[in-house]
Chain A
Amino acid sequence: MIPEIGHFALIVALIVSLMGAIVPHMAIARGDTRLMAMAGQFAYAQFLLATVAFAALTYAYVISDFSVLNVAANSHTAKPLLYKLSGVWGNHEGSLMLWILILSLFSACVAYGGKNLPLRFRSRVLAVQSALLVGFLLFVLLTSNPFERLDPAPFEGNGLNPLLQDPGLAFHPPMLYIGYVGLSVAFSFAVAALIEGEVTPLWARWVRPWTLAAWVFLTAGIALGSWWAYYELGWGGWWFWDPVENASFMPWLAATALLHSSIVVEKRDALKSWTILLAIVAFSFSLLGTFLVRSGVLTSVHAFAVDPERGVFILAFLAIIIGGSLALFAWRAPKLTPSGIFSLSSRESALVLNNILLATFAAVVLVGTLYPLVLEAINGVQITVGPPFFEFAATILMSPLIVALGFGPLLAWKRGNISRAAQILLPAVIISLFVFWITIWHDAAGMIMTGVGIGLGSWLMLSVMLEINKKTNFWIHPRGFWRRAKKLPRATWGMSLAHAGLGIILLAITVSEAWTEETLRLMKVGDSELVGGYNFTLEEVAPVAGPNYTAVRAHFLVEHNGNFIARLAPEDRVYSDPPMNTTEAGIYPLIRGDLYAVIGEYAGSNAWSVRLYFKPLISGLWLGAGLMALGGLISLSDRRQRIGAPASKKRLAFVSIAAKPAKVPKPAAPAKAIKPKKPTKPTKMAKAATPKKRTKPKKSVKTGA
């Protein structure tokens, strides 16, 4: 009964979404404000229905209702509750349900938090969101119904892939999906702006918090996935340039570029068409990524089952959404008012360079990911594009980006003074060159790339510090530092944190790649092995039993110069449903680096194969990613970022402008015929309402949109 309710909710949601996709456009054409306001109600209804459907599926998983095919194929009674829940999205149908739930959640958030948006514009945005939802609901209902029944019901289910039975991975897909789907809001805003034929600095301010939120989740989701690979796969690797990893990396690159370009739109009213295009491209990348995984065309650890029917639907859906939005862009973008002018050495130029490099990187990753597919389709030759390709591209593209990143925040808008910035950054230049030289000199083997990586990492960290020093005057008047630091806008702190996080990641990657020590050998109980200066002794190997697996657990004692450091307990687990082994690495993070032990199989005569690593500074990867996400959150908490609740005074000004276009009903005309509005009036007023760079943040913090 419950699954049928879920199925029914999906069908009703489809009807509501269809209405939500059409009615607002009609209402705008007629100038009917009351009907326009309905868009919000549609969004709430969609969210409610999607929640009911998702809850129904979750319920079936929790009570292990094996009369539902999806549950029988992916769950098992002996699974712990957490993995029964995460099993809901650990398969094709369920992950689409999660996508639908999050998409409708975002629509509801836009409806709720976007009350300050002009009604007309908000309705358009919600209509585009509804149209996206229609596509996904059709896909689920026509090709991948999660509520399909099975008769007779089996007594026991197939179980979830044990690799996925891990707390890290229970949260990795939802995080990533929130990131992916969050970009749909930027997409809808862009499409709505194209339909309206107007992009203002105000538009950039509306869209930025959504992009920022999506970016934070995307960053966290990718980091979580890479962390999972690091400790669960037992190879000590954390990024493989696997097509599916690339699929999550491309939207991240595009979203990062979008975050930066939308600042230029907001502050300087320039780069408008490009920003709109980026918003479309960023979401297209997440669609492409999701569907590449779903359609099974990619051979990957992540790939779900292949189904030609789905493949055709997916292709059609991608063609309509991506092709349609790009066509709309080609048609409407020339009507956007042209951009403002800026000098070669200005903040804008630095951000343009950032965008060019990030976009190029995304394009290279796209080519590297799709080239094998295209080649196979053309002449049947199967190739793989290996990590060297991506790593090389990353090096040559990210190095100039990081050099420029030191300068960017110190350049003024419109016309900056690069030599003055260089003066401020002089200590960073000297120190990082010194570090570069030391690294190369220290390792006579000539590890130039290692030197470059470490040099760039320290350059980035130092330049962030110097920039904060400059802004707070710490060096000259250390006493008032905290007072001045508090006065800096949170967005500035967020930016600095995120940039510093990138520097830490860069250092961690370089150092861990260059100086990881690895040993592979057979060990008997009592044997010792020295890895990276740490002495690993195998103390005991014993069987243990978990809720739905049995395992062999090794106990390693780790000592450094005779002092106790840690005990590691790696496991080799054997799951019964489905029958499969997994490796649980034993990891102990030190400040210097990670101690990492893996136990392999029994090799006879009391010996086990073991793999021991010392991975210097590798924790910096997740620390850095965490800092980036934290920086995003801090920036998001900046009052100026929030469309829902700007401070009281500004709020009035803001609302009055925001509401203006809505109050003036357009003459009844189809959307096609809408002329691009003359932007002079709203633009000027919007600028006046845009607080200057250094507004004092008020202490009273309202909850954000």
Chain B
Amino acid sequence: MAAGLGSRKKQRFVIVGIALMALMGTFLLVVFALGGDSLSLFLNPSAVVEKNMKQGQRFRLGGLVKDGSFTKLEDGLTFNFTVTDCEADIPVSYHGILPDLFREGQGVVTDGALDGTGIFVAESVLAKHDENYAAPGTMPENTDGCKHPEKSASIGP
């Protein structure tokens, strides 16, 4: 077993070779095995409309929960609301417990796919925020199209 690694050069060559192979091999395996599944697009509602996303294609939808759009079904565990970026709206349906930070007017990131009727069926809903209570990436750049909710009284700069 003790195949001699005769010289330093040879030893280094073997080690570097194995390391490179491990690196390449891992990436190839990951890409082949998972294909596009491991990467999911992060889209805002207008991008969903623009890209004409297909039914069943998984992606992440981020935006604000539109004011006045939130309804709860009779089972008490299914919720409907609209995610907006103030330019386009996407109706979302979610079965589960909503996160603590979920509010109308707050930023959310949902993970799921569109169903046949154009409703985004979410498997998870994350309400994101930072110390100033607005998540980077969920705030629309152009808020002219909708009433932008006041941020909680912030004294910061």
- Determine the chain B residues whose CB is within 8 A of the CB of A360 once the complex forms: 19, 22-23, 26
A389 to B33 Cα, complex, angstroms:
9
Cβ–Cβ contact A343 & B5, under 8 A? yes
| 24 A-B pairs whose Cβ atoms sit less than 8 Å apart in the complex | A90-B131, A91-B131, A92-B131, A154-B155, A296-B136, A299-B137, A341-B11, A343-B2, A343-B4, A344-B2, A352-B15, A356-B15, A364-B26, A364-B27, A367-B27, A382-B42, A382-B43, A384-B60, A388-B34, A578-B133, A601-B97, A603-B72, A607-B76, A609-B97
Q: Is A418 interfacial (CB 8 A cutoff)?
A: yes
CB distance from B122 to the nearest CB of A (A): 14
What would 11 more interface pairs be, CB under 8 Å, given A161-B131, A360-B22, A600-B97?
A: A69-B157, A73-B154, A301-B126, A304-B130, A306-B136, A356-B18, A393-B30, A396-B30, A397-B22, A522-B75, A578-B152
Known: A303-B135, A342-B11, A611-B97. A388 touches B37 (CB 8 A): yes
A296 to B60 Cα, complex, angstroms:
20
Q: Is A359 interfacial (CB 8 A cutoff)?
A: yes
Cβ–Cβ contact A415 & B2, under 8 A? yes
Q: Is A262 interfacial (CB 8 A cutoff)?
A: no
Q: Which of B77, B129, B136 contacts A521 (CB 8 A)?
A: B77
CB distance from A570 to the nearest CB of B (A): 11
A234 to B23 Cα, complex, angstroms:
36
A30-47 near B? 1/0 per residue, CB < 8 Å: 000000000000000000
Question: B43: nearest residue on chain A (CB-CB)?
Answer: A382
A383 to B156 Cα, complex, angstroms:
31
CB distance from B124 to the nearest CB of A (A): 9
Cβ–Cβ contact A305 & B130, under 8 A? yes
Cβ–Cβ contact A357 & B22, under 8 A? yes
Q: Which of A234, A363, A389 contacts B38 (CB 8 A)?
A: A389
A201 to B13 Cα, complex, angstroms:
23
Q: Is A288 interfacial (CB 8 A cutoff)?
A: no
Cβ–Cβ contact A150 & B155, under 8 A? yes
A330-345 near B? 1/0 per residue, CB < 8 Å: 0000000011011111
A306 to B130 Cα, complex, angstroms:
10
- Determine the chain B residues whose CB is within 8 A of the CB of A154 once the complex forms: 155
Cβ–Cβ contact A609 & B155, under 8 A? no
Q: State which size class the interface on A falls in.
A: 35 or more
B22, B135, B138, B153, most chain A CB atoms within 10 A? B22
Cβ–Cβ contact B42 & A383, under 8 A? yes
A382 to B99 Cα, complex, angstroms:
23
Question: Which A residues lie at the B interface, using CB under 8 A?
Answer: 69, 72-74, 90-92, 150, 154, 157-158, 161, 163, 233-234, 296, 299-301, 303-306, 338-339, 341-345, 352-353, 356-357, 359-360, 363-364, 367, 372, 381-386, 388-389, 392-393, 396-397, 415, 417-419, 520-522, 572, 578-583, 598, 600-601, 603-604, 607, 609, 611
Q: Tell me the dominant secondary structure on chain A's binding face.
A: mixed
**A-B pairs, 3 with minimum CB distance:** A603-B76, A389-B38, A382-B42
Cβ–Cβ contact B34 & A383, under 8 A? no
Q: Which of B27, B95, B136 contacts A303 (CB 8 A)?
A: B136
Cβ–Cβ contact A419 & B100, under 8 A? no
- Determine the chain B residues whose CB is within 8 A of the CB of A234 once the complex forms: 97, 99-100
Known: A343-B2, A580-B101, A609-B77. A363 touches B23 (CB 8 A): yes
Q: Which of B64-84 contact A (CB under 8 A)?
A: 72, 75-77
- Determine the chain B residues whose CB is within 8 A of the CB of A603 once the complex forms: 72, 76-77
Known: A356-B18, A356-B19. A382 touches B41 (CB 8 A): yes
A415 to B1 Cα, complex, angstroms:
10
Q: Is B148 interfacial (CB 8 A cutoff)?
A: no
- Determine the chain A residues whose CB is within 8 A of the CB of B18 once the complex forms: 353, 356
Q: Which of B113-157 contact A (CB under 8 A)?
A: 126, 128-133, 135-138, 152-157
- Determine the chain A residues whose CB is within 8 A of the CB of B154 once the complex forms: 73, 158
Cβ–Cβ contact A344 & B8, under 8 A? no
- Determine the chain A residues whose CB is within 8 A of the CB of B128 once the complex forms: 299-301
Question: A415: nearest residue on chain B (CB-CB)?
Answer: B2
Cβ–Cβ contact A389 & B39, under 8 A? yes
A344 to B4 Cα, complex, angstroms:
7
Cβ–Cβ contact B155 & A581, under 8 A? no
Cβ–Cβ contact A158 & B153, under 8 A? yes
- Determine the chain A residues whose CB is within 8 A of the CB of B2 once the complex forms: 343-345, 415
- Determine the chain B residues whose CB is within 8 A of the CB of A579 once the complex forms: 152
Cβ–Cβ contact A305 & B132, under 8 A? yes
Cβ–Cβ contact A305 & B131, under 8 A? yes
A256 to B86 Cα, complex, angstroms:
47
A362 to B67 Cα, complex, angstroms:
43
A356 to B157 Cα, complex, angstroms:
46
Q: Which of B19, B29, B155 contacts A69 (CB 8 A)?
A: B155
Cβ–Cβ contact B100 & A522, under 8 A? no
- Determine the chain A residues whose CB is within 8 A of the CB of B57 once the complex forms: none
CB distance from B20 to the nearest CB of A (A): 9
CB distance from B5 to the nearest CB of A (A): 6
A609 to B18 Cα, complex, angstroms:
53
A578 to B151 Cα, complex, angstroms:
11
Cβ–Cβ contact B76 & A604, under 8 A? yes
- Determine the chain A residues whose CB is within 8 A of the CB of B109 once the complex forms: 299
Question: A372: nearest residue on chain B (CB-CB)?
Answer: B42
Known: A343-B5, A357-B22. A609 touches B40 (CB 8 A): no
Known: A342-B11, A382-B43, A603-B72. A520 touches B97 (CB 8 A): yes
Question: A301: nearest residue on chain B (CB-CB)?
Answer: B128
Cβ–Cβ contact B136 & A299, under 8 A? yes
Cβ–Cβ contact A158 & B38, under 8 A? no
Q: Which of B1-55 contact A (CB under 8 A)?
A: 1-8, 11-12, 15, 18-19, 22-23, 26-27, 29-30, 33-34, 37-43
- Determine the chain B residues whose CB is within 8 A of the CB of A150 once the complex forms: 155
Cβ–Cβ contact B76 & A344, under 8 A? no
Known: A389-B39, A520-B77. A356 touches B97 (CB 8 A): no
Q: Is B56 interfacial (CB 8 A cutoff)?
A: no
- Determine the chain B residues whose CB is within 8 A of the CB of A598 once the complex forms: 97
Q: Which of A300, A353, A520 contacts B96 (CB 8 A)?
A: A520
CB distance from A265 to the nearest CB of B (A): 15
Cβ–Cβ contact A339 & B8, under 8 A? yes
Cβ–Cβ contact B41 & A389, under 8 A? no
Cβ–Cβ contact A383 & B38, under 8 A? no
- Determine the chain A residues whose CB is within 8 A of the CB of B42 once the complex forms: 372, 382-384
A339 to B11 Cα, complex, angstroms:
9
Known: A296-B136, A344-B5. A392 touches B22 (CB 8 A): no
Cβ–Cβ contact A385 & B41, under 8 A? no
- Determine the chain A residues whose CB is within 8 A of the CB of B6 once the complex forms: 341
- Determine the chain B residues whose CB is within 8 A of the CB of A233 once the complex forms: 99
Cβ–Cβ contact B97 & A344, under 8 A? no
Cβ–Cβ contact B136 & A386, under 8 A? no
A386 to B39 Cα, complex, angstroms:
6
- Determine the chain B residues whose CB is within 8 A of the CB of A580 once the complex forms: 100-101
A415 to B96 Cα, complex, angstroms:
58
Known: A305-B130, A609-B77. A345 touches B1 (CB 8 A): yes
Question: A387: nearest residue on chain B (CB-CB)?
Answer: B38
A304 to B95 Cα, complex, angstroms:
30
Known: A392-B38, A581-B101. A304 touches B76 (CB 8 A): no
- Determine the chain A residues whose CB is within 8 A of the CB of B75 once the complex forms: 522
- Determine the chain A residues whose CB is within 8 A of the CB of B41 once the complex forms: 381-383
A92 to B157 Cα, complex, angstroms:
13
- Determine the chain A residues whose CB is within 8 A of the CB of B155 once the complex forms: 69, 72-73, 150, 154, 157-158
Cβ–Cβ contact A364 & B8, under 8 A? no
- Determine the chain A residues whose CB is within 8 A of the CB of B5 once the complex forms: 341-344
A487 to B156 Cα, complex, angstroms:
60
Question: B75: nearest residue on chain A (CB-CB)?
Answer: A522
